[in-house]
Amino acid sequence: MKISKFTIPFHRDSEYFLYNTQSLSLIKVDSESYSIVEKSRTNPEYLQSLPKEYLSRLKEKAILDDDLDTQSNDFRTKMEYIKRFRSFGNKTLSLVIAPTLACNFACPYCYEANLPVSIMNEEVEEKIIDFINSFQHRCDTLEICWEGGEPLLGFNRIRSLLDKIKTRSLLPLAYHSIITNGYLFSEEIANYFCGVNLNFVQITIDGREKTHNKTRVLKSGADSYERIISNIDMITRLIPECMVVVRTNIHEGNKKEFGSIYKEFSKKWENRKVKMFPAFVMPNANCRVSCCSPQEKTDFFIDLKRTEGIEKINFIPRHRIGSCSATSENSYIISPDGDLFKCWNDIGIKDRCVGNVYEGITNNTLIAKYMVGSDKYSSAECKDCSLFPICEGGCNRRRMDNVTQSTNYPLCPFTQKGIEDYLYEHYKICEGNKTD
């Protein structure tokens, strides 16, 4: 018997814990047994000093494994099986459609740069319908996400394409969403989307008015805050069944404001279908804001709880299979000229194109690389990492580039210390609840 590869022993302030990412068990133990378990990593014989019943409990919680790593290896294999099952067995055709790559904003962290600003034409629109119908024997339903650029700059194209899907698609539209900066969302557009049952809209607010206007700035230099807030309010009234997700792109310059806007808008839209969430900006070639380090990301959430008193934060890790459009067989991103891509961040980049709506798939090599060569299951290092069961594995595109182009992008979404901090925070919350 030996300590599992997925066990993390850690301690804080003379309190000792054993955490296992496979069983998701967190056990508080005495310092002696903690020390024995920790030392057993280098010499499993230390475990012999623990009573059998105790060892049995530790094995039950997957803290310990047999000498061949059977439990942890079996678990990992099952995760991979689920991943492949999802990747290849999904019966939904998921399309991200960009009616245009033009944008009215000039955000300093945007990864899209120097892309063509044309709008989709009717010929491409027709071919998209043919492309959808070519999946009639493989898929049952259709999902669409509209994005750009700013997709509402191509609203007329969205409307005409949706009309065609309604009348000519052989796959029923089960879900559709839009990612927009929200500036152009008029009452006319909202009423139209209400009529076609838009399910989901994502709009970004980057902080309080002054901070937001620094990053969510129009190309003309004009501010956008007031109009976006007003438009979100209008959307929640006119499309009450639509989930409005308000995203904040977190970086050094605005991280301290999220707590206050979260509280303000949660109250403002209390009885409406609105969710707010933070997302950290990751560095890219065009990024002009200062991004947070892994520890700063951890501290951000802990501060939200401690300083801002926001209760709705989940510090408990869960299993992450890891999936994205790049690793889903029936998922494609379609650019305004009809090119097909596997990753959102590839849109408009010709050598990342995997085909087009005229000819279908033309680059099976790139698809194969994405599908089975870009996830955490393809990495020997990840497979032996103690965080493997709870980690998404990072961005598949970046992993593929690290392997095929010798780039050196950081992939780990969080650190072991960050997970320890979260677990300890959760423990303290539980202890606080006991004394209350």
Partner 1 sequence: MSTLIPQTRLYKRRGFREAIRVELILTHFYMRNFEEVLPGSSFLDEELNAIRGGVSENVLAVCDIGKKGDLTCSIGQIGIDDPKEMDAC
Cα dihedral sign for 45, 49, 50, 55?
A: positive
First to last CA, the chain: 40
Q: Does 35 bind partner 1 (CB under 8 A)?
A: yes
Nearer to partner 1, 184 or 287 (CB): 287
User: Which of 196, 197, 181, 193 is closest to 147 using CA atoms?
Assistant: 181
Region 205-234 residues binding partner 1, contact defined as CB under 8 A: none
Q: Does 202 bind partner 1 (CB under 8 A)?
A: yes
Count of residues near partner 1 by CB under 8 A: 105
Compute the distance between CA of residue 63 and CA of residue 25 in angstroms, rounded to an integer.
Answer: 8
Nearest approach, Cβ of 247 to partner 1 (angstroms)? 6
Q: Does 255 bind partner 1 (CB under 8 A)?
A: no
Q: What does the block give as tokens for 169?
A: 């698609």
Q: Does 22 bind partner 1 (CB under 8 A)?
A: yes
Q: Does 26 bind partner 1 (CB under 8 A)?
A: yes
Compute the distance between CA of residue 86 and CA of residue 165 in angstroms, rounded to an integer.
Answer: 25
Interface segment toward partner 1; rule CB under 8 A; list 129-137, 165-173, 310-318, 364-372: 310-318
Cα dihedral sign for 129, 134, 136, 142?
A: negative
Is the CB of residue 263 less than 8 Å from the CB of residue 233?
no
Distance of CA 370 to CAs 184, 329, 401, Å? 35, 10, 10
Region 344-383 residues binding partner 1, contact defined as CB under 8 A: 344-345
Which region, left, alpha or beta, applies to residue 415 given φ > 0 means left and ψ of -120 to 50 means alpha? beta
Distance of CA 71 to CAs 174, 304, 345, Å? 39, 37, 37
Q: What does the block give as tokens for 15?
A: 């309190």
> DSSP 3-state assignment of 26?
strand
Which of 214, 256, 263, 319 is in the footprint of partner 1 by CB under 8 A?
319
Nearer to partner 1, 45 or 187 (CB): 45
Nearer to partner 1, 28 or 219 (CB): 28
Q: Does 28 bind partner 1 (CB under 8 A)?
A: yes
Interface segment toward partner 1; rule CB under 8 A; list 124-132, 173-181, 185-193, 358-366: 173-181
Q: Does 245 bind partner 1 (CB under 8 A)?
A: yes
Amino acid at 393: G
Nearer to partner 1, 265 or 280 (CB): 280
Residue keyed to tokens 């034409």: 121
Interface segment toward partner 1; rule CB under 8 A; list 5-13, 90-98, 118-126, 184-192: 90-98
Nearer to partner 1, 167 or 271 (CB): 271
Interface segment toward partner 1; rule CB under 8 A; list 124-132, 360-368, 400-408, 420-428: 420-428
Q: Does 12 bind partner 1 (CB under 8 A)?
A: no
Which of 5, 6, 7, 27 is in the footprint of partner 1 by CB under 8 A?
27
Which of 30, 67, 351, 381 is in the footprint of partner 1 by CB under 8 A?
30
Q: Does 179 bind partner 1 (CB under 8 A)?
A: yes
Nearest approach, Cβ of 228 to partner 1 (angstroms)? 14
Q: Does 135 bind partner 1 (CB under 8 A)?
A: no
Is the CB of residue 4 less than 8 Å from the CB of residue 20?
yes
Q: What does the block give as tokens for 69?
A: 């790593």
